[in-house]
Chain A
Amino acid sequence: MKTAEIETYIEAVLTAAFTGTKTKVIHGYDPSHKEILSIWESRFTNDWEFVGQDDVREAFSIDLMIEVIGPRGKGYKRPTDRAWEIYEVLDQLIKADPHLDGVSFEARLSKAARRHFQTDQSTGCRIQTTLAGTARN
């Protein structure tokens, strides 16, 4: 599935971009980090074509989640500002038209939602965004 290859590629691009910062690029969820950029859920739809050999055009969307946690009682501003900074870096990287060997794809951040949350010890900001596009061989 091309979506799997794109997930792996996006992870490598993001990991390289955020090396040396507090932001950890992960799959799933890890509350032990203060700043995460998570490659979250994904969806794909295949349009099969049979011209010569099997070919497929795959429409995909990958949800990405940015979460920044700060200490409780210090307000939402710092986590919120930092989460948007990470979002900006992500947006710029995606706009730069990344290219994956053997699979051509185009993708854009298509929507985003920002939420605040609070736990016993922390105050956080979470931005969920969706990377949507199409890929083919």
Chain B
Amino acid sequence: MSSIAELETHLGEVLTTEFEDTPTTVVLGYDESAKEQVAIGDLVLTSEWQTFGPTPVRMKVEYSIELIIEVMARSGKNQKPAVQRAWEILDLIDSTIRATHQLDGMSYDALIKKGTKEFFEGVNKTKGCRIRVTVEGTLSQVATPVAP
């Protein structure tokens, strides 16, 4: 598996653990039936390579990944509770992903760079609040200690 795929999987696992025992489900893609979800959306990456002898080695990957928070409103009118819950979920994601994380031979950081909050109409004309954020970060090789 490529390191970026591992990162995506790892991010999903970290968030799933964080939202265990809450009504929020963490999904890859999108779940139309969920009342509260964090959907892991599109991912874009750029790679930086270095060549050691004949072998190109990928040293650094800069990536951005879209996270979509959706909370359905209990009634179709004032959506304040849905808005508040969506912001709460975002705060939890922010604190969860901010630290640098370790993967096998790699480390990555992740920061929320930008976002939008919007209202939408779901299935059966139910209303909801959606926050889309872009998480940006770098995935780097961890330096291996050289034996003396």
Complex Cα–Cα for A45 and B113 (A): 6
Q: Which of A1, A3, A32 has the most CB of B within 10 A?
A: A1
Cβ contacts under 8 Å, A41 to chain B: 116-119
Contacting pair B116 A1 (CB below 8 A) = no
Give bound CA distance, A10 to B114, whole Å: 21
Check if B113 sits within 8 Å of A28, measured CB to CB.
no
Give Cα A28–Cα B117 distance, bound, in whole angstroms: 11
Residues of B within 8 A of A27 (CB): 78-80, 82-83, 129
| With contact pairs A1-B91, A42-B116, A43-B114 given, residues A32 and B77 touching in the complex (Cβ less than 8 Å) | yes
CB distance from A29 to the nearest CB of B (A): 7
For B116, the chain A residues whose CB sits under 8 A away are 41-44
Interface centre among B73, B78, B111, B119 (most CB of A within 10 A): B78
Residues of chain A contacted by B127 (CB below 8 angstroms): 28-29
* C-alpha gap A39/B87 in the complex (Å): 14
B87: chain A residues at CB < 8 Å are: 1, 4, 7
Instruction: Kindly state whether residue A117 has any CB partner on chain B within 8 Å.
Output: no
Residue of A nearest to B112 (CB): A46
Q: How large is the interface on B (under 10, 10 to 19, 20 to 34, 35 or more residues)?
A: 20 to 34
Which A residues lie within 8 Å of B77 (CB)? 26, 28-30, 32
Contact assessment for B129 and A46 in the assembled complex, using a CB-CB cutoff below 8 Å = no
Contacts A1-B87, A1-B94, A54-B98 given; indicate if A28 touches B129 (C-beta within 8 A): yes
- A32 / chain B contacts, CB cutoff of 8 Å: 77
Q: Which residues of A contact B117 (CB under 8 A)?
A: 3, 41-43
Q: Measured between C-beta atoms, what is the minimum distance from B80 to chain A in Å?
A: 4
**In angstroms, how far is the closest chain B Cβ from the Cβ of A16?**
16
Instruction: Count contacts on A: residues with CB < 8 A to the other chain.
Output: 21
Residues A49-94 near B (CB distance < 8 A): 54
Partner among A29, A39, A46 whose Cβ is within 8 Å of the Cβ of B114: A46
Q: What residue of chain B has the Cβ atom nearest to residue A47's Cβ? A: B113
Q: Knowing A28-B77, A28-B127, A28-B129 touch, does A46 contact B113 (C-beta < 8 A)?
A: yes
Pairs A–B under 8 Å by Cβ, sample size 16: A1-B112, A3-B117, A4-B90, A26-B77, A28-B73, A28-B80, A29-B119, A30-B78, A39-B83, A41-B117, A42-B116, A42-B117, A43-B115, A43-B117, A44-B114, A46-B114
Chain A residues whose CB sits within 8 angstroms of the CB of B98 once the complex forms: 54
Known pairs A1-B94, A29-B127; list 11 more (Cβ under 8 Å).
A27-B78, A27-B129, A28-B83, A29-B77, A39-B83, A41-B116, A41-B117, A43-B114, A43-B115, A46-B112, A46-B114
Write out, one digit per residue, whether chain B residues 93-130 have a CB within 8 A of any chain A CB (1) or not (0): 01000100000000000011111111100000001010
A26 adjacent to B119 (CB under 8 Å): no
